[in-house]
Amino acid sequence: MFEQIKHNMETIAGVSIYPILSLLIFFFFFVGLGIWVATYKNEKMEELSQLPLNDKIKV
């Protein structure tokens, strides 16, 4: 079955760009996510970490 799919994919012009494109999207998403987490304010992180322990919801 894989041979049939591989043969069909080889006949499509320009199909080799899709693995590269998907790797770049994956890479930049997780780099952006890492930067966002690293720059998150400590006060907000502390507030979010205490959220499950609070009885009242802060609005």
Task: Give residue 41's domain range.
Answer: 2-53
Task: In whole angstroms, give the CA distance from residue 43 to residue 10.
Answer: 53
Count: domains in the chain:
1
Residue 15, C-beta contacts closer than 8 angstroms, at least 6 positions apart: 9
- Asked, for residue 59, whether it belongs to a domain, the answer is no
User: Over the stretch 5-55, which tens digit does the pLDDT of each residue have?
Assistant: 777 777 777 778 888 999 999 999 999 999 998 998 888 888 888 887 777
What pLDDT was estimated at residue 4? 75
- Asked, for residue 58, whether it belongs to a domain, the answer is no
Of 24 and 59, more confident: 24
What pLDDT was estimated at residue 1? 64
Is the pLDDT confidence value at 59 over 60? no
- Asked, for residue 10, whether it belongs to a domain, the answer is yes
**Side-chain half-sphere of 25: how many Cα atoms within 13 Å?**
6
